[in-house]
Chains A and B, each alone.
Chain A
Amino acid sequence: MSTNSRVHDIGGTQGWGEVPYDPNEPVFHNDWERRVFGLMFQVLPHTAKRPGEFRHALERLAPEDYFCPDGYYGRWRAAIEVLLDEYGHVDKVELDDLLGVLPGTSPGHRVAKIAEVPSENLPPDRLTRKPEHRTVRRELEESSRFQVGDRVVAMGNSGMGHTRLPEYVRSIPGTVVKIHPAEVLPDSTAHNLGERPQHVLCVAYHAKDLWGEAAEENVVINVDLYENYLEMETEPS
């Protein structure tokens, strides 16, 4: 596993039960969820400003904090606590005291530290134009190394750090079906290592290639992958 993460990358993992589907559930289940939602907008401008930083804070949570009983907003709350500590706004020891919990029990004590990501794990940086009314989109002069129809394999790099390469597609051949607009590379921006913008390719995988012969018939999984994750398939299957 190449991510400095714990358990967020769950596509295709097994043992989960039925989706807790309710077509008419409320936007927030209770008061504190709503407050966490609002709090996020207040906290981010003072902490995780760069693309991928907040997601990476979530990813570094310990399993019991990521899959806490408080669910989605529970982990947001935990990530907010982590960021407030890491950015020096509210120390985690002080937080335990403020919350009136046993010292050493809040999520900030269990979170994985941000990994040192070596620059050689990342593609080179380049100057680009940012289109109007966008934040992470960039315009690249060079075209993509790939074109629609290419057979590609996503390997990513083996280092630790934030990434948007889901494990379930690593090393499986897929076909490029579309080229999306280029974006800054979250693997880099989350670690404050520059933008290193990449073309984004939509790669289609057959379910049987991902999950084996027992997979459902007639299923295609499309995943958006940053160009630096990809290589041409060397031995066509």
Chain B
Amino acid sequence: MNEHEHHHHEVDPKTAEVRTEALEDLLVEKGLIDRARVDALIERFEHDLGPMVGAHLVAKSWLEPQFRDSLLDNADRVLEEEDIKGAEIEHVEVKANEPGIHNVVVCTLCSCYPWALLGLPPSWYKSPEYRSRVVREPRKVLQEMGLSLDADTEIRVWDSSSETRFLVLPERPPGTEELGLEELAQLVTRDSMIGVAKVKAL
């Protein structure tokens, strides 16, 4: 037997995975792309855009009490230190959910939303149904959206009528004690940071 025999994968060379790797390497060799830039772009798309920005802040708050305190006390300073910039964050306030207190965010006058932390807003957030009803009957609206809160829980609605933008810091679900920052961030949903859902452990 040939001692250099290779193990042939039963893989169709056309499979996208192999193809992608071949493409990337060829393009790098031809100088059409730059590997470090591609890495940075992936990082940006996976972590810096959309709700992942907010999700990382939440996950870090769960792991580091001091970070959480700073975020609740002066979110702007924390965002500056974390180098988070972008549209619609002249001033950010983070509101923590805790046993007995649930926060939810709205903009009744238009649809103001913290784009830089959560990406583009969902349609329902901009709908007249949400804008009109969540300040009037939040418990019922949240129930309809799948979140039941008991009668003893104080619901705090934040109407974004100035340039302050609100982010809800949801409670950490039980059963996540062993998870690290990235794994925790993956659990945090956009809807939980608006306040219409809770975070679930998988």
Is B176 in contact with chain A by the CB < 8 A criterion?
no
* A window 199-237: CB within 8 A of B: 200, 202, 207, 210-211, 215-226
Known: A19-B145, A183-B162, A222-B158. A10 touches B132 (CB 8 A): yes
Is B60 in contact with chain A by the CB < 8 A criterion?
no
State whether A136 touches B124 (Cβ < 8 A).
no
Is B34 in contact with chain A by the CB < 8 A criterion?
no
Interface 0/1 of B145-166, CB less than 8 Å to A? 1100001111111111111100
Number of A-B contacts (CB under 8 A): 145
Q: Tell me the complex Cα distance, A180–B14, Å.
A: 57
Known: A166-B108, A222-B157, A223-B161. A216 touches B138 (CB 8 A): yes
State whether B131 touches A224 (Cβ < 8 A).
no
State whether A14 touches B145 (Cβ < 8 A).
no
Interface 0/1 of B173-202, CB less than 8 Å to A? 000000000000000010100001100000
Residues from chain A with Cβ under 8 Å of B152 in the complex: 218
Distance (Å) between the CB of A220 and the closest chain B CB?
5
Is A137 in contact with chain B by the CB < 8 A criterion?
yes
Q: Tell me the complex Cα distance, A230–B118, Å.
A: 32
Distance (Å) between the CB of B76 and the closest chain A CB?
8
Identify which of A20-28, A80-88, A90-98, A103-111 touches chain B: A20-28
What count of chain B residues pass the 8 Å CB interface test? 51
Question: Which residue of A10, A17, A183, A202 contacts B163 across the interface (Cβ within 8 Å)?
Answer: A183
Is B123 in contact with chain A by the CB < 8 A criterion?
yes
Known: A217-B151, A220-B155. A16 touches B109 (CB 8 A): no
State whether B108 touches A10 (Cβ < 8 A).
yes
Question: Which residue of A17, A164, A218 contacts B162 across the interface (Cβ within 8 Å)?
Answer: A164
State whether B131 touches A10 (Cβ < 8 A).
yes
Q: Tell me the complex Cα distance, A213–B71, Å.
A: 36
Q: Tell me the complex Cα distance, A216–B144, Å.
A: 15
Question: Which residue of B111, B135, B145, B153 contacts A11 across the interface (Cβ within 8 Å)?
Answer: B135
Is A18 in contact with chain B by the CB < 8 A criterion?
yes
Is A190 in contact with chain B by the CB < 8 A criterion?
no
* B window 91-123: CB within 8 A of A: 91, 93, 106, 108-111, 119-120, 122-123
State the B residues within 8 Å of A (CB).
Answer: 85, 90-91, 93, 106, 108-111, 119-120, 122-124, 126-141, 144-146, 151-164, 189, 191, 196-197
- Beyond A10-B108, A10-B128, A29-B123, list 20 extra A-B contacts (CB 8 Å): A9-B109, A11-B109, A11-B135, A11-B136, A14-B136, A17-B129, A19-B124, A19-B141, A19-B144, A23-B197, A71-B127, A134-B90, A164-B162, A165-B161, A210-B136, A216-B137, A216-B139, A218-B151, A219-B154, A222-B157
| 4 closest cross-chain pairs (CB), A and B | A11-B108, A224-B162, A10-B132, A16-B129
Q: Sample 20 A-B pairs with CB under 8 A, ordered by A number.
A: A16-B128, A16-B132, A19-B133, A19-B144, A20-B129, A21-B196, A25-B122, A25-B123, A27-B119, A71-B123, A134-B90, A135-B90, A164-B162, A210-B135, A215-B136, A216-B138, A216-B139, A219-B138, A219-B139, A219-B155
